[in-house]
Structure 1
Amino acid sequence: MLFASITLAAALVASIAAAVTFGPADIRFDEVWASIGSHLGLGVTPLSPLRDGIVWELRLPRVLTAAAVGAGLAISGAVMQAVTRNPLADPYLLGLSSGASLGAVAVLVLGVSVLLPAAAFLGALVALAATLLIAGSGSALTPSRMILAGIAVSSLGAALTSFVIFWTATGDSYREIISWLLGSLAGARWPAVAIAVTAIVVIGIPLMIGGRVLDAFAFGDTSAAALGVSVARTRWVMLVGTALLTGGMVSVSGSIGFVGLILPHAVRLIVGAQHRALLPLAALSGAIFLIWCDTAARALFDPRELPVGIVTAVIGAPVFVLLLMRSRRFA
């Protein structure tokens, strides 16, 4: 695990530096490090204001946001698959994406896009509360009830979002809404980096530390309880933590699919099912994956830019089919 972690961490740093060089303006590796060094006060000769602005104000925050969002979604997906014992679970299983979408669309049609991250995060929390309330009403909170409740909340949120778009969206607001719904990092700046990285530090790292507890869920609730795990309490804590982490990611990136679904499976095929190793390696892999998906989204059809969710879907769908064919866990 240590060697794999060091290798992926080095690949992540190299990916960040390399991705910043892609774009209409030709930026070299040494210029990337010069810009970073000058802003960190390392005594490096600064770039010209124009080139420094391209690196520091435009490309670097976008790449760092992609890394943080990819890591967060991969962690959330791995935790969700363990807690629900469902290999098809992803971070949006409990209706979080539809709730965040409804909140985001509401502020976009009102013309107050500055509130978009807060509205998306609040929408995700409302969807989570609705899902858990439905799943826990009159019975114990079980994986099957959570999934069914999540499907219901997701369908309702999607219907309300479609209604708002149909009834009010016109012109530029329509394009902005569609871009966000498909997942986009085009507007990511340093505040987005702060939100995503804070979510990783405050929520993602504690979830990774709890990897040993997640191993117990693989054998069912009865076995987990026999191993000394407080099943109900642990499930609630993990679900709320995952929802908060996903909400933070969605608030700055929109709904980006397949990252939280395929990365945990891909890493699990390589390192096994122990979550102490799986979670950090999935986080690093998710960060690298989304960096290069976003780089492809903004560079392949320059000067036009694709929403990164399209790229992750085009790559993720066939990869997931391949994993499905190779893994016996889906049988």
Structure 2
Amino acid sequence: MEKASSRYKGIFPVLSVVLLIIVLLSIRYGAVSITLEDMVSAFQKHLSGEQGLNLTERIFMEIRLPRAILCIFVGASLAVGGALLQALFRNPIVEPGLVGTSCGAAFGAALYFALGATFNFNVGEYTLPLAACLGAICSTALVFFLSQSKQTGKSSVVTLLLVGIAINALFLSGVGFLSYIARDPQARSIIFWNLGTLSGANWPAVIIVGISTITCLVISLRYAKHLNALMIGEEEAQFIGVNLKSLKWKILLINVIMVAVATAFVGVISFVGLIVPHLLRILKGSDNRFLILNSAVLGGVLLCLADLLSRMLLRPAELPIGIVTSVVGVPIFIILLRKKNYFF
């Protein structure tokens, strides 16, 4: 354990440095290039209360910086959510999208785009995130309710995944139907949102997602030892004092809150929660005390890198970030699946 711990301790500072470099590159490059001098000048003027920001300084403070920080928080939320679910169910293919969270959020957002004006559902700029968050919570709750056995009240991994696939198909059908009946602008909004985008990043979104991510991350680290005990088996974990029912619902609640809030602001982004824990397990370590924390940093690294690519490949146009994560994530995941003996 000490050897594994020292290895993970060396990984965290390296990932942190890589994250800082990727964030600076993400802020630096885009349709408008921003120099380091512009960044420093913008900070100095902001701290002194000076109002005369030039164009590049305003782009930095109002667009690039909140976008980069939001990217870190969203990537951390998705990656940690995947790590928690994989540890809880002891299955390497479980991730937030498979339990209905992402598709539920997509359905909630599509419902708002298509019918929000009809039902006069509007609470300002938070209407879309609220609709998506409610959809994510409802769909995830439905998956776990339907997957529970009537006799034991428990849900097996296989049943959970099968029910999750069915609910995902149901909600995706709902999204397709709403796209069909919506007018052209609303239909395009539904499609674009379902592909994931960080173009709407702002400071209020950063604050909300940041509070959710940091709070859930700190709480999840408290249960890392319980998840480690679960790796040796449910009966053994219960024997050493782990309350499996309580642990299950606490981890699920943490995951739903963290992933639902992140997805609500940026749309559906796939593969981050599936790939990041696997990349860390290649290092031959599954200690959740370090895996959860490093997943948060590596998730931020990968999503910031994907965001940079999405803005650079078709500059000055922007690709939906979900396309980039899928194109990059699929081959990586296939390569990981072909490797043997590193799953738990």
TM over 0.5: yes
Partner SS state of residue 125, structure 1: helix
Partner of 1:243: 256
Q: CA deviation at 1:187?
A: 1.1
Question: Which residue in 1 is equivalent to 2:144?
Answer: 132
Deviation for aligned residue 1:146: 2.5
1:143 aligns with 2:143: no
Offset, 1:296: 0.6
- What is the match of residue 238 of structure 2? 225
Alignment partner, residue 78 of structure 1: 83
Structure 2 residue 188 is the aligned partner of structure 1 residue 175 = yes
CA distance in 1, matches of 2:289, 2:13: 15
2:137 maps to a residue whose letter is L
Q: 1:214 aligns with which of 219, 227, 231?
A: 227
Deviation per CA, 1:205-251: give whole Å up to 9, x if none.
Answer: 21123211111222221121122110111011101111111101101
Q: Distance in 1 between matches of 2:194 and 2:113?
A: 11
Show the counterpart of 1:117: 129
What secondary structure, in the 3-state scheme, does the structure 1 residue paired with 2:274 have?
Answer: helix
Alignment deviations for residues 47-78 of structure 1 (CA, whole Å, 9 cap, x no partner): 73322210011111111111110011000000
**Following TM superposition, by how much is the alpha carbon of 1:32 offset from its aligned partner in structure 2, in angstroms?**
1.8
> Which residue of structure 2 lines up, in the alignment, with residue 288 of structure 1?
301
1:319 CA drift (Å) = 0.6
**One-letter amino acid of the structure 2 residue matched with residue 68 of structure 1:** F
**Distance 1:281-1:44 versus aligned 2 partners, 3 A rule:** farther
Distance apart, 1:90 and its partner CA = 0.9
Q: What is the CA deviation profile of residues 19-70 of structure 1, one whole-angstrom value per residue up to 9, with x for unaligned ones?
A: 111112221023223323433x2x5988733222100111111111111100
User: 5+ residue gaps in structure 2?
Assistant: 1-7
Counterpart among 85, 93, 108 of residue 98 in structure 2: 93
Q: Secondary structure at the match of 2:341?
A: coil
Q: d(CA) in 2 for partners of 1:255 and 1:124?
A: 11
Q: Deviation at 1:100? A: 0.6
- CA distance in 1 between counterparts of 2:161 and 2:14 reads 36
Q: What's the counterpart of residue 4 of structure 2?
A: none
Moved more, 288-297 or 43-52: 43-52
Q: Which amino acid aligns with 2:207?
A: A
Distance, in Å, in 1 between the alignment partners of 2:73 and 2:177 is: 32
Q: Deviations over 1:167-217 (max 9, x none)?
A: 2x2222222111110111111111221121111122122112321111122
Report the CA distance shift for 1:18/1:309 in structure 2 as closer, same or farther (over 3 A): same
Match among 266, 283, 286 for residue 253 of structure 1: 266
Q: Which residue of 2 aligns with 1:34?
A: 41
C-alpha distance in 2, partners of 1:293/1:326? 24
Contact 1:34–1:47 (CA under 8 A) maintained in structure 2: no
Aligned to 1:3: 10
CA contact (8 A) 1:67 1:286 kept: yes
Alignment of 1:256-267 (within 5 A): 256-267=269-280
* Per-residue deviation, 1:329: 4.7
1:278 match: 291
Residues matched between the structures, number: 328
Task: Name the aligned partner's letter for residue 293 of structure 2.
Answer: P
CA distance in 2, matches of 1:247, 1:140: 25
* Residues 282 and 342, structure 2, Cα contact 8 Å, conserved in 1: no
Map of 2:5 onto structure 1: none
Work out whether 1:194 is the aligned partner of 2:210.
no
2:25 aligned residue (9, 15, 18): 18
Shift of 1:107: 1.1
Give TM-score scaled by structure 1 length: 0.93
Q: Does the Cα contact within 8 Å between 1:8 and 1:284 map onto a contact in 2?
A: yes
Compute the RMSD of aligned alpha carbons.
Answer: 2.0
Residue 137 (structure 1) shift: 5.2
> Does the 8 A contact of 1:77 with 1:89 survive in 2?
yes
C-alpha deviation, 1:268, in angstroms = 1.3
* SS of corresponding position for 2:317: coil
One-letter code aligned to 2:42 = S
Does the aligned pair in 2 maintain the 1:17–1:32 contact within 8 Å?
no
